[in-house]
Chains A and B, each alone.
Chain A
Amino acid sequence: DIQMTQSPSSLSASVGDRVTITCRASQSINSYLNWYQQKPGKAPKLLIYAAFSLQSGVPSRFSGSGSGTNFTLTISSLQPEDFVTYYCQQSYSTLRTFGQGTKVEIK
């Protein structure tokens, strides 16, 4: 199975900060990488698909990049509603896998 490793597991930041979350795959997955946001007690919500395509309705402060084994999710200016948990997920293999998650906390 393809292992997905996110870093950091958690981070502290302030409103207006630029933050970057990294996701690394155990083998090349081309650009078959998606990002989700999950608020407490809610279902995950798609942010980015195919590594860099912004889902309709998602604010433009979110962006994705990368290919092969290394990917990043960037939030250009953190807003209060962004202090939640983010997951990457590979769709290269039919055996889909998620990263362990990154919790963004208020500093």
Chain B
Amino acid sequence: EVQLLESGGGLVQPGGSLRLSCAASGFTFSSYAMTWVRQAPGKGLEWVSTVSGTGGSTYYADSVKGRFTISRDNSKNTLYLQMNSLRADDTAVYYCAKDEYSSSWNWFDPWGQGTLVTVSS
């Protein structure tokens, strides 16, 4: 069974940093791209970032580009999101998701349970 378990969320002051982790199991981690999606309280889903299976290619939403860094350690089956220069509007539940694929089609499945990041003084 595929499992994704996020950790690292918490309360941080504006301008601060936080690193999220997502521990993966039940599949060949290095064979799949991985993604972070966030959801602000009471709001919709926002794609944040995706990293390729090797870690060599990364993609970011404009809202986080230059502040967040996605990475992975395939030896530890773990995905990371380093978040710097945090702002109040980064407050959200952060989900990691496996980029499942078939031929040229991609989708997010499954998702982790999420970790809450609160940016506040």
Binding site for B on A (CB under 8 A): 1, 31-32, 34, 36, 38, 43-46, 49-50, 55, 87, 89, 91, 94-101
Contacts and interface: CB of A to CB of B under 8 A. Distances in A.
A98 B97 CA distance: 14
B113 interface: yes
Interface secondary structure of B, over-half rule: strand
B45 A49 contact: no
The residue in A91, A94, A96 that gathers the most chain B C-beta atoms within 10 A of its C-beta is: A96
Interface of B: 35, 37, 44-47, 50, 59, 61-62, 95, 100, 102, 104-114
Contacts of A87: 44-45
A34 B108 contact: yes
Interface secondary structure of A, over-half rule: loop
Given A1-B62, A97-B47, A49 B111 contact: no
Contacts, number: 63
Contacts of A50: 102, 105, 107
Contacts of B107: 34, 46, 49-50, 89, 91
Contact of B108 (A31, A46, A94): A46
Contacts of A95: 47, 59, 61
A9 to B, nearest CB: 10
Contacts of B45: 36, 38, 44, 87, 89, 98, 101
B109 A46 contact: yes
